[in-house]
Amino acid sequence: MSDPTDQQEVQPSGKRGEAAWKEHRDRIAARNDQARKEGRARREAAEREKNEARRDRERRQMATLLAKQGKP
């Protein structure tokens, strides 16, 4: 299956020469910016999940230690 945005990029814009080249370059730059933004969001979400898991693990360990401390 093809992505509609890919089809959109293949269609000529009616511009020629330098203007067409600049338009093509700008489309690529915009696509790269979007990819960076999405990658950053995914990394931040993964980092948040990792930190939450670490905090949960530390809480469980602390609860276990406190429970053991109360027993002789």
**Closest to 27 measured CA to CA, from 41, 1, 8:** 8
Residue with tokens 């999405």: 38
The overall pTM is greater than 0.95: no
pLDDT band at 68 (very low <50, low <70, confident <90, very high): confident
Give the CA dihedral 39, 36, 2, 24, nearest 10 degrees: 180
Question: 1-48 pLDDT, tens per residue?
Answer: 455 555 555 555 677 889 999 999 999 999 999 999 999 999 999 999
Conformational region of residue 17, where left means phi above 0, alpha means psi within -120 to 50, and beta covers everything else: left
Domain ranges of the chain: 17-70
